[in-house]
Chains A and B, each alone.
Chain A
């Protein structure tokens, strides 16, 4: 009799419900999706730059043209006057 009571108790022990399993499976899917997205995002954020930006530099060419007259040496006169008396 004692042994039969023990077997009955084991049979009556409640198992995990199907709902619990469903929740676990859904969690598994979500975790898998999130993990995949995370990995893809991380790799997407890695940028390998093999081409540098183009660079520019400038130089100037200048000259100034004036009339020939302006280049002529300019003259000016002054006077020094003195008178010597004996």
Chain B
């Protein structure tokens, strides 16, 4: 089968087009790669420079438990337990421990990136006490444990507020910009509970879950 020179020319043109297109696409890819804000760009072409920049997000409760222990409520009365300040147990509380804010929950950003922190609770006040009574309270308050920990951002709630039991996706934001600098990277979570002598007896447990998502670079 003879092939005309015209066909040969078409093949050659196709080869040229494919080659140019390939080069063009590759260059475009390289261009996008360079725009990806890589740090540590080596400008010295005379030697090999190998570097690895690693950043981790890490969020921990450095104090992860509040346990008021075992106690009861005086007949016809109620019991309020607070962890703020030096701690407070109301007159109707019998036998419970007093927990000051220095022993309350502390969230710390111990990674190398700033974090948006949300928090939710496994139960609300009804779930915590096992039944609905209007006086039942399970509330939290979030404060900066170190000045400017939530720098440029908002710490919330600054007053005692019912705990959030929303899903993690829509959990309450407690600090929208938690610093990672060691001297200012922690939040204090105070807790307040209120119950009465009508509250069912037994062990009461709630788990608070804090979620830290990187914000900024």
Contact = CB atoms under 8 A, between A and B. Distances in A.
Contacts of B214: 51-52, 54
Contact of B11 (A25, A40, A46, A58): A25
Contact of B61 (A18, A58, A62): A58
Interface string A46-72: 101011111111111111111110110
A62 B66 contact: yes
Most buried by B among A26, A46, A60: A60
Interface residues of A, number: 38
A70 to B, nearest CB: 7
A60 B15 contact: no
Interface stretch (A7-15, A27-35, A78-86): A27-35
Residues of B in contact with A, size category: 35 or more
12 contacts: A39-B26, A55-B211, A57-B59, A57-B209, A59-B66, A61-B65, A61-B191, A61-B193, A62-B67, A64-B70, A64-B203, A68-B197
Interface of B: 2-3, 5, 7-8, 11-12, 14-15, 18-19, 21-23, 25-26, 29-30, 33, 36-38, 55-61, 63-75, 81, 94-96, 105, 107, 111, 113, 115, 128, 138, 168, 189, 191, 193, 195, 197, 199-214, 217
